[in-house]
Amino acid sequence: MGIIAIMMVISFAVAMGVAFIIKQATVMVERLTLASSKPDEIRRVKKIHKLSKHSRKVKGEEYARRYGIELIDHYYGDNKLDSGESQRELLNHFYPKSR
Amino acid sequence: MDGLSFSALFPGLGTFFTSPLVISFARVILIALGLTVIYLGRKNILEPLVMIPMGLGMIAINTGMLYMPDGSVGNLFLDPMLSDTDELMNMMQIDFLQPIYTLTFSNGLIACFIFMGIGALLDIGYLLQRPYTSMFLALCGELGTFLTVPIAKAMGLTLNESASIAMVGGADGPMVLFTSLSLAKNLFVPITVVAYLYLGLTYGGYPYLVKLLIPKRLRAIKIQKEKKKVKSYSAATKMALAVVMCLVLCLLFPVAAPLFFSLFLGIVIRESGLKHFHDFITTTLLYGSTFLLGTLLGVLCDAKLLTDPIVFKLLVLGILALLISGIGGIIGGYILYFVKKGNYNPVIGIAAVSCVPTTAKVAQKIVTKENPQSVILSEAIGANISGVITTAIIAGIYITLIPHLK
């Protein structure tokens, strides 16, 4: 029974160690993924800036027609002043990150 | 026509009358068991993928007996007891399943192929979302794997044999096969047969255990969403994690490295987007291996197996191991229920017994019956996947330490 108790303790320690490694490694890999995906974000921003005024207007109207609310009101809401965040939200809407 | 008797003309029937009564009786029982297993497999009460070929194998091996040139009673399927190389080479040219048995079953290759298939079906994202909770539950679901060892020892088995039969508590067929091959080669055939027979029962048996130990009020609990949003992880993250886990576990337990490698290879293939490999592993390889495993398990069930007195002990210990593990998982579920102040469904505990994905499906089915609004599948699958990993860890610990404890 003593041997089994020791093996239970070892198993518990190893399993929890594996859980700790999973947690830490996930955080690390997520950070690395975020860092390496930055150029992609920049590319997407550049792409939207290339859009003509006309096509932006068409997209805006299409959104309003479909959802019954202006895109700018929907996304900006009370935070209209927070232009940086709003811009990001709009970009994410029209150009969702590919997985 | 001299010497041509009924027995010589119809040896399948004749051997029933010329063999010892115990053997003939055991053959009849095994034929009946084969028929029952096919019926229960067809009705989905037992796992049909393994049980249908296994049942037919049982029937064929116990009816297809004949007199060998040396006068003994044998068959033309396979001989699991051969170890001499020359004899083995000769038999491979006579017994049609001998090559498959020798080259895939008795070296654990088939277990590794099935593990690759399981890996390719697993989404480790559920484990990454809650690694500590899932691992804790999975450890509780291994209670039978630990407690059966002293019980088996008290029943007269050696430590190696006790550890091998106790692995049934991990509810992971390939792992039982692998552990018994490493620790108790003399018993690996009956232990594996017992393990697969019982694993087929989890689908039908565990719901009764859950209903017995968890009241209806708790079975119907709907887990309220956590304040912190549950993250979903990209394929790249999951793949990187699988690589890290494979590295760490192979480093810690080299004896179980083939199993870890197979499991994580499946996960890596799934997450790498290699569609053709993924399709091959999850269809041809997994189903092909499962079919051959079921067939081989069936033809290994000859009458000599049932008449060995140790088989009765293995039957008792196998069911005990699974029962204790199920209770352990439910205790884990209760602990988390109290730790999370009631915002946890203790039924999830049963999914910690790593019979992937059967026990997770069982848990969701029970909960849905009580409360259709309650969805616990993601938590259950997290515990289920952790169960595979903890079973592999325990197998690694047993295979590494037990040979040094004699």
CB contact under 8 A, B132 and A23: yes
Instruction: Quote the ipTM score.
Output: 0.77
> Residue B343 has what DSSP assignment?
-
How much of chain A, in percent, has pLDDT values that exceed 90? Answer: 1
d(CA B117, CA B111) in angstroms, rounded, equals 10
Beta strands in B36-184 (DSSP E): 66-67, 73-74
The band of A79, judged by pLDDT with boundaries at 50, 70 and 90, is very low
Is residue B77 within 8 Å of B60, Cβ to Cβ?
yes
Residue B57 has pLDDT above 80, yes or no: yes
> Which whole-number Å values give the CA distances from B130 to A19, B96, B125, B226, in the listed order?
9, 48, 9, 12
d(CA B30, CA B188) in angstroms, rounded, equals 19
Length of chain A: 99
Which residue in B has a C-alpha nearest to residue A1's C-alpha? B150
- Range of weakest confidence among A78-82, B223-227, B240-244: A78-82
How many Cα atoms within 13 Å fall on the side-chain side of residue B168? Answer: 32
The predicted model gives B396-400 an average pLDDT of 88
B263 or B232, greater pLDDT: B263
What pLDDT does B140 receive?
Answer: 93
What pLDDT does B149 receive?
Answer: 93
What pLDDT does B259 receive?
Answer: 83
What pLDDT does A43 receive?
Answer: 60
- Range of weakest confidence among A46-60, B191-205, B285-299: A46-60
What pLDDT does B266 receive?
Answer: 93
d(CA B22, CA B128) in angstroms, rounded, equals 54
Which chain B residues touch A35 with a CB distance below 8 Å? none
Which residue in B has a C-alpha nearest to residue A2's C-alpha? B150
Question: Of the candidates B137, B119, B170, which has an alpha carbon nearest to the alpha carbon of residue B380?
Answer: B137
Residue B1 has pLDDT above 50, yes or no: yes
The predicted model gives B191-209 an average pLDDT of 83
Interface of A with B in 17-46 (CB under 8 A): 18-23, 25-26, 29-30, 33
Q: How far apart are the first and last CA of chain A?
A: 50
What pLDDT does A99 receive?
Answer: 41
What pLDDT does B229 receive?
Answer: 67
Amino acid at A10: I
| Tokens standing for residue B331 | 């205790």
Residue A41 has pLDDT above 60, yes or no: no
What pLDDT does B16 receive?
Answer: 84
A58 lies within 8 A of chain B by CB? no
Which chain A residues touch B405 with a CB distance below 8 Å? 3
Question: Of the candidates B233, B251, B263, which has an alpha carbon nearest to the alpha carbon of residue B127?
Answer: B233
Residue B386 has pLDDT above 80, yes or no: yes
The predicted model gives B12-37 an average pLDDT of 89
How much of chain B, in percent, has pLDDT values that exceed 70? Answer: 98
Residue B310 has pLDDT above 90, yes or no: no
B358 or A54, greater pLDDT: B358
Find residue B67's DSSP bridge partners: B73
> Residue B82 has what DSSP assignment?
-
Q: Is B134 helix (H, G, I), strand (E, B) or coil?
A: helix
Other CB atoms within a 10 A radius of the CB of residue A1 amount to 10
B187 or B3, greater pLDDT: B187
The band of A72, judged by pLDDT with boundaries at 50, 70 and 90, is low
B227 phi/psi in degrees, rounded to 5: -60, -40
Q: State chain B's mean pLDDT as an integer.
A: 87
| Tokens standing for residue B403 | 């040979």
Q: Which of A4, A12, A22 sits opposite B139 (nearest CB)?
A: A12
Which chain B residues touch A8 with a CB distance below 8 Å? 146
Q: What's this model's pTM, rounded to 2 decimal places? A: 0.76
Which residue in B has a C-alpha nearest to residue A21's C-alpha? B245
